[in-house]
Every structure is written in structure tokens, then in C-alpha cells.
């Protein structure tokens, strides 16, 4: 997903900023405290230079100054000079302590606001990503979502932080400017003589940095996705000796990221360089001009209210402090744009319409055995290419039905429609006559226990993996489900048995073991429909027979929907639907279909001829032997 592709749903700037603030609004008392503390910091900053200036201009001189701040400070001090010196030292120290304390408190509140607000952003984003349909997730790399969750989620706080910082900078700048003007208007105007240059550099670099930041963000997201995919296919690369080309692709992805970062860093370095050069020029002007004013008013042609050394000290200190707010304001656009871009990537996902969700008047439908109907069902992933074409079928509660047929004919897609991972283009799927789109999504999905082809495993214990769909299940129920799925024997043989930890994706199990755990997980669930997509593809003949036997035992207690290439596991099914090119071309029992002598009979003969001889028949007498592995399409 490129950032430009995110553009169509972007709203205006103000709305984006308001939305960003919404995540931090619950913590408004902390925001108010933060602003108050910033006020304290600014005040302390303004007063910091005064003890020294008063020491020079009022205490250590025969002609004390009479300005209101001088008078105010002196009122706090004892009348004798040593006492005044000590008093000024203590005031200076106190100002430092207050300044540092306020700074520390500000930082902690800043972290607090950032982390909690960003947690809210992430919670929203994660929830949304969980609700978005398979179509969304399949249309972009996983790394993209990971990047939005881990990095872009900080965008909203970035915006608020920059706005608070820049507002404070604006206030500070105003107060300082007023004080500087009261000291010496010509010197203050000299300070601002470089302002047009600052505005220009801000405009020039702000745009460039924004562009480069977007580019780099996207390339980084691509890199994350690339690494994730490359790690997933390490065994494939090793098996086909493609490590060098994988490495080459990785290097190219890293190179793209490095180049994009360097382009960004170059602009980021050029910008402060230009800005500091401009401000240094301003400082040089002020230093020369201010020095000359002191020389003129104190030595060349002394005047009572002229520039003093103490005033120049304050001027120089303020001038140094003036740079910071100027920098904040100068960087405002470039920084806020970067955070805005990140926040918009988050908002883009949050605004993505959920195509699969509860209808406004969705009705509850408690999980119970129900009649499943395919009512002239058509579906396709791409426009103009139907994967399922006008399917019509009815499966009664407690029946065991199978969908068989060549690879790529849409069997798995049909199962995905039952759980509403996608919605049909035409026709409907019905439970007891109710269109499943009119049923609450959670209720609908509670009807189905799904065993997918990839038998997904969590990095958790064996027992937790089996109980994923029913976390409160007792150990006895878990063990019973494992026994029914033919998994008990291998589980008990591994150290720690049901408490053994599985590695990521169940990599420390064989494919068949993973499949049996996935079946146990489905069996443990109380869903009235058991939906199995190629459940025996990784099982040995013994476990295949065991599973088939288990399914037959569950018949009548649950409705079983089976997608398989193994025709010997559908022999006892009440109904077998034979699919070809997205259509149901034959239907009936195993015997009826053999008698038809059509597609099913051909597949049956083909399976029998491909099966290597084995000494004994397994579960079903007369069944052809299984093939060693699932057909490769
Ligand atoms: N996410 C997707 N986007 C686009 N096309 C898809 C997608 N998933 C599947 N298809 C296509 O839909 C068709 C049916 O796929 P499906 O997985 O449903 O077939 P199947 O009969 O279950 O195959 P198999 O027996 O090999 O598992 C195939 O042509 C496949 O390429």
C-alpha cells in the first residue's frame, strides 16, 4: 500500500488534528498540568539571568538602576551588600532547582500522555485490523499492518506534542520580544532581520523533509514485510538452494531503505545547518550592534538610561533563549507533517469500510443444530471471474456432507463463505432459512468449528492450543478431544505432554501432529457444525482411519462438512457434492455417485490407480488406498 493510495479517504488537516487530540482528551487534567509546568519553565527561564544582571547593575555599582524588576528583587534582599550578594546567589540556585524540577515533571507527564494515548490508538487500530475482512489482509503485506501498529501509532501524540511545544514557543517568543523591545527596540529589530530567511528555509526544507519522510516510511514498511516473508520461507529457500537470491533480494530491500533514509537524513541535516547559519548571522549582528550600544551609552557619550553591561547580559541570555522557540516554530511544519503522515496512515485503516460486519438489524441466532442451505450461491474474488457459480444444496442437522472435486474448484472458498470471511456476490447461505448476513456475526461464527488447511498453532502449551476455542474447557475434556482426534498418543509421548510448549507456528511438531491438534481443537468446541478443510492431508493411514471413524461417531451429534481429495473418507457421508469449475456437477451418496459413472467415478478410479498397494484395508472395506500426500495443484 503506497501512501498515495491512502489519499482518497483523507480528511482536512483540522479534522485530523482534532481526531488526534481525541485520543488524549481523557487525560486533559494531565495536559493542563503539563501546560502549567511549561509556564513555570518559561517564567524561570525569563528570570534566570536577572540575579547576575542585578548584581552587576545594582549591587556592584555606585549608581544602582531603578527599573521595576530591580526594585522588586532588591525588596527580597537584605539592605547590606554582602547580604544582597548572598540573597542573589540563593535566588539563582532556587530558580535552577525549580527549573529542573519543572522540567523533570514535564518529561514524566509527557511520557505518560504519550504512552497511554498511543495505547488507545493501538487498541483502536488492532481492533479494526481484527474486524477487517480477509480481502483487506490479503491485499497487502502483513508488515504494513505491523508498521502502522508499531510506528505510525505514535503519529497522533507527535501532532499534539508539536502543537503544545509550538504554542508554548509562540507565547515565550511574544513575552521575550516584549521584554527585548522594552530594553532596546533597534536591537530587537536587528534580531528579527533574519526572519524572512527563516521563513524561506522552513518552507523549502519542510516540503522536502515531508516528501522524504513519506518515501522512507513506505520503504521501511516494505522492508518489514519483506523480512517477515523471507523468514517464513527460509525452509523453502534452503530446500531449493535459493539462499543467494533471497539474500540478494534482502540486500536490495535494505539498500532501498538505506538510500531513502540517507536522502531523508541529508535534508534533515541541511535544514538545521541552514537555519543555524541564518540565526548565527542574526546573533553576530546583535552582538556587534549591542556591544557598540553599551560602548556608546557607557563610555563614548554616557546616558542615565542607556545600555548597561547587565542589560546586555540579559539581552544575550534572552537572545540565546529566543533561538529555541524560533527553532520550534521554524520546525513546526516539517515535524507536524511527518507526524500527520503517520497519523493519517493510522486513520486510513480506521476509516476503511468493514465489508463484513453486523447488519444494523442483525438478529441473534443462538448456536444450535440447523439446516444449512446454499441458495443459488455465486462468488468470486476478482470482477468477472466466478469461483463459485450458482450452487444449490441443503444439508440437514446431524448430516455428514462432503465437497470433493479437483483442486481449485472453490471448495475452500465455499467454507470461507460459511464463516462470512467473504460475502457471496449472488444468492445466499442460509441457516434454518435465515440469510447468514442477517445474523449477528459472532452468533454465526459460534455455529462453526473450523479446521483450516494450515492448522495454525500458537506459541503456547499443547493444552492451550487445543482449548483455543473453549478456554474454560477442563483437562479431561481436552484429553478426550485429543484422544478422539488421534493426538493423545503422540502428546503423551512428548516430555511435559499437555503442558509442553509449542514453538511459533508449531514448528516443533510434524505436519500430521499439527493437523491432529487442530482437529482436537475443533472437536473440543461445542459448535454444532464441524467444518474440516482437508483434515487428513497430512495424516498417516492409521490416523486417517481413526479420524474418519471419529467423524462417523460424531454423525447425528454434529453436522459435519468435509472438504477433501480423499474419496475413501467420504464413503460413509450422507451426501457428497462433486464440484468442478465452481459448480456442483454431481451429488449423492458414494454408491449413487459410483453408479452415475461420471466425474466422481473417474476420480475414484484415478485415486485407486495412484494408490500404492498396502497389506491391509483400513477403516472402510473396499476403499482405495490413500495417496502419500495431498495432490499438488
Ligand atoms: N484470496 C484470493 N484471491 C483471489 N483468488 C483466490 C483467492 N483464494 C482463492 N482464489 C482462487 O479461487 C479459486 C478456488 O480456490 P479454492 O482454494 O477455494 O479451491 P479449492 O477447491 O479449495 O482448492 P484445493 O482443493 O486445492 O484446496 C482458485 O482458482 C484460487 O486461485
CB distance 633 to ligand 1 below 6 Å: yes
Q: What CA–CA distance (Å, rounded) separates 312 from 324?
A: 19
pLDDT tier, 11 (very low <50, low <70, confident <90, very high otherwise): low
Residues 482-495 pLDDT 10s: 988 888 888 988 88
Report the separation in Å between the CA atom of 125 and the middle of ligand 1, taken as the mean of its atom positions: 29
pLDDT tier, 387 (very low <50, low <70, confident <90, very high otherwise): very high
Judge residue 255's burial from the number of C-beta atoms within 10 Å of its C-beta, 0-12 exposed, 13-18 middle, 19 or more buried: exposed
Domain assignments of the chain as residue spans, ordered by start: 13-193+281-351
Residues 62-98 pLDDT 10s: 766 767 777 787 788 888 888 888 999 999 999 999 9
Q: What is the CB-side half-sphere exposure of residue 338 using CA atoms within 13 A?
A: 20
Report the separation in Å between the CA atom of 448 and the middle of ligand 1, taken as the mean of its atom positions: 20
Which residue's alpha carbon is nearest to atom 29 within ligand 1? 408
CB distance 413 to ligand 1 below 6 Å: yes
For position 633, what pLDDT does the model report? 26
pLDDT surpassing 50 at residue 619: no
pLDDT tier, 615 (very low <50, low <70, confident <90, very high otherwise): very low
CATH 3.40.50.300 fits 13-193+281-351, yes or no: no
Report the separation in Å between the CA atom of 538 and the middle of ligand 1, taken as the mean of its atom positions: 19
Which residue's alpha carbon is nearest to atom 30 within ligand 1? 408
Cβ-count burial 302-311 (b if 16+ within 10 Å, e if not): eeeeebbebb
pLDDT surpassing 80 at residue 507: no
Q: What CA–CA distance (Å, rounded) separates 596 from 600?
A: 8
For position 50, what pLDDT does the model report? 86
Report the separation in Å between the CA atom of 381 and the middle of ligand 1, taken as the mean of its atom positions: 9
3-state helix, strand, coil in the chain (%, to 5): 65, 10, 25
For position 3, what pLDDT does the model report? 38
CA-angle at 151, arms to 146 and 155, nearest 5°: 130
Residues 135-193 pLDDT 10s: 888 888 777 888 899 989 999 999 999 998 888 888 888 888 888 888 888 888 887 77
Residues 395-422 pLDDT 10s: 999 999 999 988 888 999 999 999 999 9
Report the separation in Å between the CA atom of 627 and the middle of ligand 1, taken as the mean of its atom positions: 22
If you ran DSSP here, which 8-state letter would residue 425 be given? S
For position 57, what pLDDT does the model report? 81
Three cell numbers written together for 5: 493510495
0.90 cut: is pTM over it? Answer: no
For position 545, what pLDDT does the model report? 77
**Residue predicted with more confidence, 427 or 317:** 427
- Percent of the residues in the chain that have a pLDDT greater than 70, as a whole number: 92
Report the separation in Å between the CA atom of 390 and the middle of ligand 1, taken as the mean of its atom positions: 17
For position 428, what pLDDT does the model report? 95
The arithmetic mean of pLDDT across residues 583-597, rounded, is 92
pLDDT surpassing 50 at residue 297: yes
Ligand 1 mutation target, pool 379, 384, 387, 417, most atoms within 8 A of CB: 387
The arithmetic mean of pLDDT across residues 201-216, rounded, is 82
For position 438, what pLDDT does the model report? 95
Contact (Cβ atoms closer than 8 angstroms) between residue 34 and residue 376:
no
**Residue predicted with more confidence, 510 or 146:** 146
Q: What CA–CA distance (Å, rounded) separates 485 from 554?
A: 12
Q: What CA–CA distance (Å, rounded) separates 114 from 509?
A: 42
Ligand 1 mutation target, pool 133, 380, 381, most atoms within 8 A of CB: 381
Q: What CA–CA distance (Å, rounded) separates 604 from 402?
A: 14
Cβ-count burial 493-520 (b if 16+ within 10 Å, e if not): eeeebbeeebeeebeebeebbbbbbbbb
Amino acid at each position: 500500500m503506497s501512501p498515495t493510495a491512502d489519499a482518497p479517504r483523507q480528511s482536512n488537516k483540522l479534522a485530523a488534528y482534532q481526531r488526534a487530540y481525541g485520543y488524549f482528551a481523557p487525560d486533559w487534567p494531565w495536559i493542563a498540568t503539563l501546560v502549567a509546568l511549561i509556564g513555570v519553565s518559561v517564567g524561570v527561564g525569563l528570570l534566570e539571568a536577572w540575579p547576575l544582571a542585578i548584581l552587576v547593575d545594582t549591587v556592584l555599582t555606585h549608581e544602582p538602576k531603578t527599573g521595576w524588576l530591580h526594585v522588586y528583587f532588591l525588596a527580597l534582599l537584605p539592605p547590606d551588600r554582602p547580604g544582597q550578594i548572598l540573597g542573589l546567589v540563593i535566588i539563582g540556585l532556587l530558580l535552577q532547582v525549580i527549573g529542573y524540577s519543572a522540567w523533570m515533571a514535564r518529561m514524566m507527564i509527557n511520557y505518560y500522555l504519550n504512552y497511554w494515548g498511543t495505547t488507545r490508538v493501538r487498541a483502536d487500530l488492532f481492533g479494526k485490523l481484527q474486524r477487517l475482512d480477509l480481502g483487506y489482509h490479503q491485499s497487502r503485506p502483513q508488515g504494513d499492518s505491523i508498521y502502522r501498529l508499531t510506528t505510525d501509532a505514535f503519529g497522533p501524540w507527535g501532532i499534539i506534542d508539536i502543537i503544545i511545544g509550538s504554542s508554548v514557543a509562540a507565547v515565550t517568543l511574544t513575552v521575550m520580544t516584549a521584554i527585548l523591545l522594552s530594553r532596546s527596540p533597534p536591537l530587537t529589530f536587528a534580531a528579527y532581520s533574519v526572519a524572512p530567511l527563516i521563513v524561506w528555509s522552513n518552507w523549502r526544507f519542510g516540503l522536502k523533509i515531508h516528501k522524504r519522510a513519506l518515501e522512507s516510511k513506505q520503504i521501511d514498511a516494505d522492508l518489514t514485510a519483506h523480512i517477515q516473508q523471507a523468514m517464513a520461507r527460509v525452509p523453502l529457500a534452503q530446500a531449493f538452494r535459493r539462499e543467494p537470491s533471497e539474500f540478494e533480494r534482502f540486500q536490495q530491500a535494505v539498500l532501498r531503505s538505506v538510500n531513502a533514509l540517507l536522502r531523508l537524513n541529508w535534508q534533515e541535516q541541511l535544514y538545521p545547518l541552514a537555519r543555524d547559519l541564518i540565526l548565527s548571522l542574526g546573533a553576530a549582528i546583535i552582538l556587534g550592534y549591542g556591544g557598540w550600544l553599551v560602548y556608546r551609552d557607557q563610555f563614548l557619550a554616557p546616558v542615565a538610561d542607556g545600555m548597561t553591561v547587565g542589560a546586555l547580559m540579559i539581552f544575550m541570555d534572552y537572545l540565546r533563549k529566543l533561538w529555541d522557540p524560533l527553532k520550534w516554530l521554524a520546525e513546526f511544519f516539517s515535524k507536524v507533517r511527518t507526524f500527520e503522515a503517520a497519523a493519517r496512515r493510522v486513520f486510513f485503516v480506521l476509516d476503511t469500510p468493514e465489508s463484513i460486519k453486523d447488519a444494523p438489524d442483525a438478529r441473534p441466532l443462538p448456536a444450535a443444530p440447523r439446516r444449512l442451505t446454499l441458495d443459488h450461491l455465486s462468488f468470486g474474488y476478482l470482477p468477472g471471474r466466478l469461483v463459485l457459480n450458482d450452487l444449490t444444496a441443503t444439508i440437514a442437522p446431524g448430516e455428514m456432507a462432503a465437497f470433493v472435486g479437483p483442486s481449485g474448484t472453490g471448495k475452500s472458498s465455499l467454507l470461507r463463505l460459511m464463516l462470512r470471511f467473504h460475502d457471496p456476490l449472488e444468492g445466499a447461505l442460509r441457516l434454518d432459512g435465515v440469510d447468514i448476513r442477517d445474523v449477528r456475526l459472532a452468533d454465526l461464527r459460534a455455529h462453526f468449528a473450523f479446521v483450516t488447511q494450515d492448522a495454525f498453532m500458537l506459541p503456547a502449551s499443547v493444552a492451550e492450543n487445543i482449548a483455543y476455542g473453549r478456554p474454560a474447557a477442563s483437562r479431561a475434556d481436552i484429553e478426550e478431544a485429543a484422544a478422539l482426534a488421534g493426538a493423545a498418543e503422540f502428546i503423551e509421548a512428548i516430555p511435559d505432554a499437555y503442558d509442553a510448549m509449542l514453538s511459533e507456528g508449531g514448528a516443533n511438531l510434524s505436519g500430521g501432529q499439527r493437523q491432529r491438534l487442530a482437529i482436537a481443537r475443533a472437536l473440543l468446541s461445542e459448535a454444532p457444525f464441524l467444518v474440516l478443510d482437508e483434515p487428513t492431508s497430512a495424516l498417516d493411514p492409521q490416523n486417517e482411519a481413526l479420524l474418519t471413524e471419529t467423524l462417523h461417531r460424531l454423525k447425528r451429534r454434529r453436522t459435519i462438512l468435509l472438504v477433501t481429495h480423499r474419496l475413501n473418507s467420504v464413503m460413509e457421508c450422507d451426501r457428497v457434492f462433486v464440484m468442478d469449475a465452481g459448480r456442483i456437477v454431481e451429488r449423492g451418496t458414494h454408491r449413487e455417485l459410483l453408479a452415475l459413472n461420471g466425474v466422481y467415478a473417474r476420480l475414484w478410479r484415478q485415486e485407486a490407480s495412484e494408490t500404492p498397494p498396502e497389506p491391509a484395508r483400513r477403516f472402510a472395506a473396499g476403499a482405495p488406498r490413500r495417496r502419500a500426500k495431498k495432490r499438488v495443484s
